[in-house]
């Protein structure tokens, strides 16, 4: 564990060094690396304007978010917190939004707390960046619009919005209460659409922006006994691709981040452990966490039982960076190799 932690700190120190290097070498790297004359039969081949290109090669450009303003929903803990903190570690000011309390009876996870949301802000600030918390429910679009206005006033602009807030429900279709379907769709799909609809006007006005929507591998295939969660995550992919088509003309990119199984409060309970090894064909009723890891890891190409939240966040940083200027309408999977089994 110590090696693991020091390796992660090394990555973050490396990012700081890359900032300095990027500044030093900026002048030297203003030109594209190729010397292609860009013509065909004497006729010039058009090039895109600067804002419609990832631009010339620069050290660290895929991990630098210097002075950008990011908003992350579901940021009190788990993957949302990792994304918020990793963005701060790479130069962004970050507003962390979370309900920080109970969401629905149709949630298997223990509710996040205001203390966890405060801890996210503490970690953001530990990288010398501005961090603020807003306690809000993504099902309430009026609250999100008020948050967008307040953030724009305080921070001057909004460059990046990550829609991460979600709940998960494991229950067979034949045993569902109405809330098991309705609340999961309302929270995950409608809440994500609310987030896009509330913040997009701010980006349209500035002709620049980034949306990163959290889907799931369960949004790419069916999930036995978790149909409402699976449907919500498929829906997010439809929303992402449609929004990318509509918002592209405003120079706004919209992409989906697709984690594999990650150890968070969303997944750390007995039913999820038995479901995770159920995918391997084993039917052990109540495996211990170690048994679940040992059964599942050999089936994953990179031989882990599950990933960590900060395995996911670097991909979010890339998608939010200028290096990803021309990436939109895309699904970005971080799964330890489970992706290799799906189309």
Ligand X SMILES: NC(=O)c1ccc[n+]([C@@H]2O[C@H](COP(=O)([O-])OP(=O)(O)OC[C@H]3O[C@@H](n4cnc5c(N)ncnc54)[C@H](O)[C@@H]3O)[C@@H](O)[C@H]2O)c1
| Enzyme catalytic residues | 229
Q: Which of 68, 77, 129, 296 binds ligand X (CB under 6 A)?
A: 77
Least separation in angstroms between CB 82 and ligand X: 8
> Does 79 participate in binding ligand X (rule CB under 6 A)?
yes
Assess 316 for contact with ligand X (CB under 6 A): no
* In the complex, least distance from residue 137 CB atom to ligand X, rounded to whole angstroms: 4
Select from 137, 311, 333, 338 the one that contacts ligand X (CB under 6 A): 137
Q: What SS3 state is found at 3? A: helix
Q: How many angstroms separate the CA atoms of 174 and 164, rounded?
A: 29
Rule CB under 6 A: say whether 138 interacts with ligand X: yes
Cα angle 181-184-188, degrees, rounded to a multiple of 5: 145
Q: How would you list the strands of the sheet with 131-135, edge to edge?
A: 131-135, 93-98, 69-73, 160-163, 209-214, 252-259, 331-334
The answer to whether the CB of 87 falls within 8 A of the CB of 65 is: yes
- Choice between 77 and 169, CB closer to ligand X: 77
58, 61, 139, 210: which one binds ligand X (CB under 6 A):
139
Structure-block tokens of residue 265: 């409060």
Token output for 210: 């980034």
Residue 292 contacts by C-beta under 8 Å, 6 or more apart in sequence? 273, 274, 276, 277, 305
| Residues sharing a CB contact under 8 Å with residue 5, sequence separation 6 or more, in sequence order | none
Interface with ligand X in residues 164-183 (CB under 6 A): 164-167
Instruction: Please report whether residue 71 would count as binding ligand X according to CB under 6 A.
Output: no
Kindly write out the interface string for residues 266-285 of this chain, putting x where it contacts ligand X by CB under 6 A and - elsewhere.
xx------------------
Span of 1-9, 20-28, 38-46, 77-85 interacting with ligand X by CB under 6 A: 77-85
């Amino acid at each position: 564990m110590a090696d693991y932690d020091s390796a992660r700190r090394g990555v973050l120190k490396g990012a700081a060094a890359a900032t300095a290097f990027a500044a030093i070498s900026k002048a030297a790297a203003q030109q594209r690396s190729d010397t292609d004359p860009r013509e065909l039969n004497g006729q010039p081949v058009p090039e895109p304007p600067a804002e419609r290109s990832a631009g010339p090669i620069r050290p660290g450009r895929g991990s630098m978010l210097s002075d950008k303003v990011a908003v992350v929903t579901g940021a009190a803990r788990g993957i949302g917190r990792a994304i918020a903190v990793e963005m701060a570690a790479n130069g962004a000011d970050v507003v962390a939004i979370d309900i920080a309390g109970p969401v629905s009876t149709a949630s298997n996870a223990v509710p996040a707390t205001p203390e966890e949301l405060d801890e996210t802000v503490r970690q953001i600030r530990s990288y010398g960046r501005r961090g603020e918390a807003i306690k809000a429910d993504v099902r309430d679009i009026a609250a999100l619009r008020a948050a967008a206005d307040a953030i724009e006033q305080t921070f001057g602009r909004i460059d990046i919005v990550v829609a991460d807030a979600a709940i998960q429900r494991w229950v067979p279709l034949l045993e569902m209460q109405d809330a098991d379907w309705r609340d999961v769709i309302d929270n995950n799909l409608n809440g994500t659409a609310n987030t896009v609809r509330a913040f997009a006007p701010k980006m349209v006005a500035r002709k620049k922006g980034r949306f990163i929507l959290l889907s799931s591998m369960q949004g790419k295939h069916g999930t036995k006994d978790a149909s409402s969660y699976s449907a919500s995550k498929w829906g997010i992919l439809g929303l992402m691709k449609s929004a990318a088509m509509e918002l592209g003309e405003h120079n706004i990119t919209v992409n989906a981040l697709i984690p594999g199984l990650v150890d968070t409060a969303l997944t750390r309970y007995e039913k999820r452990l038995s479901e995770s090894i159920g995918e391997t064909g084993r039917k052990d009723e109540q495996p211990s966490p170690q048994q679940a890891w040992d059964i599942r890891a050999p089936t994953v190409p990179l031989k882990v039982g599950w990933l960590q939240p900060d395995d996911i966040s670097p991909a979010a940083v890339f998608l939010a960076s200028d290096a990803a200027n021309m990436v939109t309408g895309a699904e970005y999977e971080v799964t330890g190799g489970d992706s290799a089994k799906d189309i």
